[in-house]
Amino acid sequence: MGCVPVRGGRMADIIRVGLLGYGTIGSGVIKLLTDPESRIADRIKLVKVADTDLEREREVKVDPALLSCDTDSVVNDPEIDVIVELIGGVGAAKKYVEMALDAGKDVVTANKYMIALHGDELHERAGRNGARLLFEASVAGGVPIIQVIRDRLAVDRVLSINAILNGTCNYILTRMEQVPGMDVDQAVAEARQKGFAEADPTLDVSGMDTAQKLCILVRKALRTLVLPDQIDLQGIAGISNVDVQSALEMGYRIKLIAHSHRVNGKLELWVGPALIPAANTLAQVSNEFNAVAIKSEAHGEQTFIGKGAGMMPTAGAVIGDLYTLLNHDNVTSLLSESRLDIPIVDSKNVRCRYFTRFTVKDQPGVISAVSGELAARGISIASVVQHEKAVDPRQGVPLVVITHETTAGAMSEAVAAIDRLDVMLQPAHTIRIMDTL
């Protein structure tokens, strides 16, 4: 390739970039690369920008001479050294990444879904063609966690990962804490206004975005290939303001957590909301910020924090990868390690305490009925909080039950049985409690 680092030789003075995707993140990349005060503006040159819709009005402008609706021609342009893929999805994005790698071009991507599903395959393709594939921007926005794992933890043994990987959800949960009565939909609308949520936030709110990112972290840090559908997944759509405020009263904060932990030679994996002790560092991460807490044998516990939602954090991570390509000849594609493929614990056998909100009729015998179903499955109750009567009896009364440690399978069976009781007005909502991380 023209101006990329010569393998085993000197560094390049300039790399020429073709950008695929002129959306939110692409606009951020353009803004950073065309900033006249940037220290890298004279070394990383934006040559072409491809997008299927060039008519849409955008806040960040670019020289019209750089624009193209012919993505194939941009990928195949011999003057371009590096392709930055910001299309998203798997179909077209994967096709163009493969084309670039086959041509020996380095690729930088923020595409978490593509890397989670096809990262190993694309790494092998990069290796065959003497190219490199970097994807720091696919996980945790402004937290350079892939670089940390690659460099600082390269010879260490990672024991656990607990992370807040979705800035949108963290902003939503923070606002629900700050505004009593605010529900998820209201917080989503506010996040959208501030540019922290997509027009359709389903990928974020469902937890799938976080699951895809956890797959990448597990592959890199624990050398285990995991697909998103293998992860026990729960989103935040069912979280109520009662849950959030009750957690605060108990000394906890609710966070959407990506969890990976070695247990007896196996790997415990899940994504879902969890009550975190308020004094814990992760609990104190608010608004659109992300955080990754990693525990390893040599380094112990470390937590890395940075912005995770919005245009600039992810765009900044893309620029960081371009800078790495510019200055480090020995960097390889980030999935280059051999696999260990640690077995995954059956999600039904994962143990923890639970916070469960039951919306029940205001009548005698309710607590007895609920506790009876829990006891039938060997689940003991640590505490019960019954809130004041509802103004409208048809809405029911929230009954919050905190259990002692039990398995996810037993808890799921108990909740299903309780939901069938005549005293229930709405399905129960269960949240993990993580007293130790």
Catalytic residues: 213
Q: How far apart are CA 160 and CA 18, in angstroms?
A: 37
8 Å CB contact between 417 and 406: no
Long-range contacts (CB closer than 8 Å, 24 or more residues apart) made by 186-195: 191/309, 195/24, 195/309, 195/310, 195/311
Task: Categorise residue 45: left if φ over 0, alpha if ψ from -120 to 50, beta otherwise.
Answer: beta
Alpha helix (H) ranges present in 77-141? 91-102, 112-128
Number of neighbours of residue 338 by Cβ within 10 angstroms: 6
8 Å CB contact between 158 and 275: no
Non-local (6+) Cβ contacts of 25 within 8 A are: 86, 110, 137, 311, 314, 315, 318
Residue 153: both structure tokens together: 């933890």
Q: How far apart are CA 17 and CA 13, in angstroms?
A: 13
Residue 341: both structure tokens together: 């493929």
SS3 state at 20: strand
Residue 219: both structure tokens together: 């592959």
